[in-house]
Structure 1
Amino acid sequence: MPVPVCKTARPLLAGLALALLCAPVVASTLNQNVSWTIDRSGTTAKYRVVAYGDSIYAGYNGSTTSAAKYSAPTVDAEYLSALWNADVESVRRTKSGAVASDVYKNKIVAERSYMQASSTRVVTFEMCGNDGLQARSSFKSQTGTCNYSVLATAEANCKTYVAKAMDYINTNAYAGTKVKIIANLHYPGYNADNVLSSCTDASTGARVNMRDKFLPAITRMNYWMCEYARQKGFKCVDNFAEYMGSDYDSNGDGQVDSQALKYVAGETEASYVARITGTLKGTLRDANTHFISASSSADYIQSDDTHPTYNGSTVKAGLFGGTTGSGAPRYTSFSGGKNPIWNLYGHERMGWLLSLYGPTSAL
């Protein structure tokens, strides 16, 4: 089994991507593009998984020059390689620090050629994390009377560009693409946000609990990711439920927490928000301590309190260009459709979730 990557401190983080405050000569966004092929022994056919997004799909690890080799899309490619008995190329076209409009315009639209290749079988994207975290940062810096418009703007922008991205992918992806997937947001810093704001509410005159203010916003963003997916022919990977909910029934309601928290196709926004922020709020847990059972846990979040943990080595991605390479799969078969570490790292969990929507055949 590969050795897990150790964590390193990154105190200057400013979003789902990076603020790069330690490198003032570069901008606050960074292209981190990787093409890695799972080279399966004895196969000749090769298919492609295309992933667009920000630092989550990039496999950001705190570096401006490298990223995780096995971020979620490449984990997915490894599963699909075994399922299809073929080589699978994981193409990650990502921009760490990018808000939803940036991912849409400068990755999905500007780099549409990657999903137009005839080898493409899966197209997936994630966005909106930086919209939310930049709004959170802005809100945390407020004094005087709280201005909630920054959160509303983040929600509106997310909703707009998620819909645009799906429509564009539906129109431009290779006709032989088998499945299209969006991945929604986990809540980084869930425990850290359980503090009072510096600003005061205009109606009550009291400071507000920041987690109580941010949770409904991220919940509404996640709802529309999954609801638009239902409407527009996409699948929705519910990272929020799988990261923030334990893998056992902690409240005795007869449901495993991570399953109970999932978006239900066709439910209303009001119903979903009420479940997550009310009925099931007590089952939410910070993903730094994801309970895989009542007595054991795994850390899904790096020490920056934002980005998913990963297993294995890194590849060049960032200031000095990206990586195009190939290598043998870490695992050649999967008992029960899962590798041995599927629930031990954030990227492994997300990659397994993506693989659940993989078509049984690439033909």
Structure 2
Amino acid sequence: MLTKTPDPTSPRPRRIGALQARVRTALCSLLPAMLLLGAAAPANANTLTQNVSWTIDRAGTTTKYRVVAYGDSIYAGYNGSTLNAAKYAAPTVDAEYLSALWNADIESIRRAKSGAVAADIYNNKIVAEKSYMQASSTRAVTFEMCGNDGLQARTAFKSQTGTCDYSGMDAGVNSCKTYVAAAMDFINANAYAGTKVKVISNLHYPGYAADNVQSSCKDATTGATVNLQSVFLPKLAKMNYWMCEYARQKGFQCADNFAQYMGADYDSNGDGKVDSEALRYVAGDSEAAYLTRITSTLRATLRDANAHFVSAGSSYDYIQSDDTHPTYSGGTVTAGLFGGTTGSGAPRYTSFVGGKSPLWNQYGHERMGWAVSTSNPSAP
């Protein structure tokens, strides 16, 4: 039976106190600016800083280590709000796993900018805010980027009429490769010397099912419209390949979120491999071999992450109602126009059977955080 988790962005009743009244007053004064933000460009082109520091405060220990995460709206835990974000976005989920593994408090530092392209994240987060990963408590550094390079190129292509121009998407791929490599080099040169693990998260394909339509433009060679999904998938696959390949070359681990989101957790095609495992980047793959596997050989096993199948008869919704951002559990924290949250709380789970929380495959952020955690070293 097909099952789906509730949309975490659905409104909940709130009690209005003095603090909420002040926030409401401030919101009213900021409303014109917020409207301008929304009208300035498509949603995926806006930028909104959403920094959060949240510590997993484990009972019986005062030892504290730090996980630093740089990225865009994905690591930010964006949920459509300009005021808050998911408390347990993927980096903080990873912090829970580390807390249990190391029996320590783990400080999850998220330096994120929703809507930012790769160049922006590299220059204004990773480079400009390098001090966060230079702290002597840092043991893990992770980043993700390029999603907005792809989304903006996709939006521009969808609006085309006449003859199709593919150059914008190619530029997005090239920019992604440039800044992913630069980010890894910079982190290698600047992260605290005692850092134990460095991880990049690659991209899921938001709107995969919705893109299975024809373009408004026509291909110059065939004179016919093109299937949007078939145009975008190889571009995304190239980005993902180079994220994982550069990771192999430069001493990073690669959390393959494309495989985790887009492939079922059972063998749907009878090839003897669980789909989500079969889709993963394999160290030593050539770009051509990886693209063939994703866009041709295993193309039929790809599924929109709005219904991620954990078995042949059961699925969970990994994508919020905006058809882009991951679902989450555990509430929200202040992040956005009114600044960020610095806080702490007890872990939701103090131990993990088989290295997996009870929610590991039920929400997008839980799945991504688990994928990042699989590279965690046994000791700090």
| Aligned twin of 2:35 | 23
In structure 1, give the amino acid aligned to 2:157. Answer: F
Gaps of 5+ in 1: 10-19
After superposition, what is the alpha-carbon deviation per residue over 1:36-93, rounded to whole angstroms, capped at 9, x for unaligned?
A: 0000001010000000000000000000010000000000000100100000000000
Q: In 2, Cα distance between the equivalents of 1:115 and 1:188? A: 30
Structure with the bigger percentage of helix: 2
Q: Which residue of 2 aligns with 1:105?
A: 123
Distance verdict in 2 for CA 1:155–1:21, change over 3 Å: farther
Matched ranges for 1:33-182 at <5 A: 33-182=51-200
Task: Give 1:312 shift.
Answer: 1.2
Note if 1:246 corresponds to 2:248.
no
TM-score by length of 2: 0.90
Cα shift at 1:101: 0.2
Counterpart residue type for residue 342 of structure 2: T
- Contact kept, 8 Å, 1:4 with 1:312, in 2: the verdict is no
Q: Does 1:236 align with 2:238?
A: no
Q: 1:148-227 counterparts in 2 under 5 A?
A: 148-227=166-245
Native 8 Å contact 2:57 2:347 kept in 1: yes
Task: Report SS of the residue matched to 1:91.
Answer: strand
How many angstroms apart in 2 are the aligned matches of 1:241 and 1:199?
A: 30
Q: Distance in 2 between matches of 1:233 and 1:266?
A: 14
Quote the sequence identity (%): 74
Distance 2:197 2:162 in 1: 48
SS state at 2:175 partner: helix
Q: Is the 8 A contact 1:54 1:103 kept in 2?
A: yes
Within 5 A, what are the aligned runs for 1:325-344?
Answer: 325-344=343-362
Alignment of 1:269-284 (within 5 A): 269-284=287-302
Answer yes or no: is the 8 Å Cα contact 2:65–2:104 preserved in 1.
yes
How far off is 1:154 after superposition?
A: 0.2
Q: Greater Rg, structure 1 or structure 2? A: 2
Alignment partners' CA distance in 1, 2:280 and 2:100:
27
- Does 2:375 match 1:357? yes
Letter in 1 for 2:331: S
Distance, in Å, in 2 between the alignment partners of 1:277 and 1:330 is 39
Q: Structure 2 stretches of 5 or more lacking a match?
A: 12-31, 41-45
Question: Are the counterparts in 1 of residues 7 and 320 from structure 2 also a CA contact under 8 Å?
Answer: no
- Contact 1:290 1:298 (C-alpha < 8 Å) held by counterparts: yes
Alignment-mate amino acid for residue 137 of structure 2: S
- 1:172, 1:7 → 2: CA distance? 37
What do the CA deviations read for 1:308-355 (whole angstroms, capped 9, x no partner)?
000011000000000000000001111111110100000000111111
**Pick from 307, 327, 337: which aligns with 1:309?**
327
Give the Cα–Cα distance (whole angstroms) in 2 for the partners of residues 23 and 53 of structure 1. 25
Aligned partners of 1:8, 1:153: CA distance in 2, in Å?
37
Name the CA distance, whole Å, in 1 between partners of 2:167 and 2:35.
31
Equivalences, count: 350
Local SS of the residue matching 2:36: coil
Structure 1 residues 295, 346: CA separation in 2 closer, same or farther (over 3 Å shift)?
Answer: same
SS of the equivalent of 1:317 reads: strand
CA distance in 2, matches of 1:289, 1:101: 32
Equivalents in 1 of 2:79, 2:204: separation in Å? 17
Whole-angstrom distance in 2 between the partners of 1:6 and 1:284: 25
Are 1:7 and 2:9 counterparts? Answer: yes
Q: Secondary structure at the match of 2:68?
A: strand
CA displacement at 1:8 relative to structure 2 = 4.2
Shift of 1:7: 3.4
State the 4+ residue runs in structure 1 displaced beyond 4 angstroms. Answer: none
Give the Cα–Cα distance (whole angstroms) in 1 for the partners of residues 198 and 35 of structure 2: 36
Aligned partner of residue 198 in structure 2, secondary structure: strand
Specify the SS of the correspondent of 1:23. Answer: helix
Q: SS of the counterpart of 1:348?
A: helix
Do the aligned residues in 2 keep the contact of 1:4 with 1:310 (CA within 8 Å)? no
How many angstroms apart in 2 are the aligned matches of 1:254 and 1:107? 43
